[in-house]
Amino acid sequence: MGYNEEAFIKILKSKGLKVTNQRKAVLKALSSKPDQHLTAEEIYELVRVDTPEIGIATIYRTIQLLCELGLIDKLNLDDGYVRYEIGKEDKNEHHHHHLICVNCGKVLKFDDDLLDELEKQVEKTTGFIVHDHELKMYGYCRDCQNNRK
C-alpha cells in the first residue's frame, strides 16, 4: 500500500490531466499520514516541507481533484474544518467509519459489515438506491471514561 506514483500518473494521463510536481506532492503527503484526518491548512504545511513554492489555492484545487478521482475521502467532524484522508486502495473493501471522542477529540476508525443489511432495508422501504454511506459515532474513548463522566 502507500503511495503508488505510477498508478497515479496512469490515472491522470487517462483523464487527459497533467502530471505535475504539486499533484504528486499532495497525494504523497496524504499517503504519508494514512491514519490522520488532515485539514487543507495541515496538508499545506506538510507539502511545503518538500515543495515550499506551492500555494494554498493549489492545495484546494488538488484536494478537490483527488476527491473526484476517488483517491481521497472527505470527512467532516463538525469542528469547523473539512478534513481529508487517503482512501482505500482496494475499492471493494468495506467503508470505514469514525468514532469521535467528544472529550479529547480523538478519532478512531472502524470497519463495518452491518450496514449493508441496513442499506438493503432502506432500498426496499424508500425506493432509494444507496451508493455510499457515512457513519459517525460520538462518545467517550477508553481514556476519557476515567477522566470524565
Partner DNA sequence: GTTTATGCAAATATTTTGCAACGTT
Partner DNA sequence: AACGTTGCAAAATATTTGCATAAAC
Contact positions vs DNA (CB under 7 A): 12-13, 16-23, 39-41, 51, 53-58, 60-62, 64, 80-82
- Closer to DNA by Cβ: residue 4 or 21: 21
Residue 19 contact, options its own copies, DNA, none, Cβ 5-8 Å cut-off depending on partner type: DNA
- Closer to its own copies by Cβ: residue 14 or 146: 146
Is the dihedral angle over the CA atoms 146, 100, 86, 29 positive or is it negative? negative
Q: In what order do the strands lie in the sheet with 38-39?
A: 38-39, 82-86, 72-76
Instruction: Judge whether 95 is annotated as a binding position.
Output: yes
Instruction: Judge whether 97 is annotated as a binding position.
Output: no
- Closer to its own copies by Cβ: residue 89 or 111: 111
Instruction: Judge whether 98 is annotated as a binding position.
Output: no
Radius of gyration, alpha carbons of the chain:
18
- In angstroms, rounded to a whole number, what is the distance separating the alpha carbons of residues 95 and 4? 21
- In angstroms, rounded to a whole number, what is the distance separating the alpha carbons of residues 4 and 147? 42
Within 8 A by CB and 6+ apart from 112, the residues are 94, 95, 96, 97, 135
Site residues, its own copies (CB under 8 A)? 74, 76, 78, 99, 101-102, 108, 110, 112, 114-115, 117-119, 121-122, 125-142, 145, 149
Instruction: Judge whether 67 is annotated as a binding position.
Output: no
- In angstroms, rounded to a whole number, what is the distance separating the alpha carbons of residues 64 and 66? 6
- Closer to its own copies by Cβ: residue 7 or 118: 118
Instruction: Judge whether 101 is annotated as a binding position.
Output: yes
Residues that constitute the known binding site for Fe cation: 95, 133
Residues that constitute the known binding site for Zn(2+): 101, 104, 141, 144
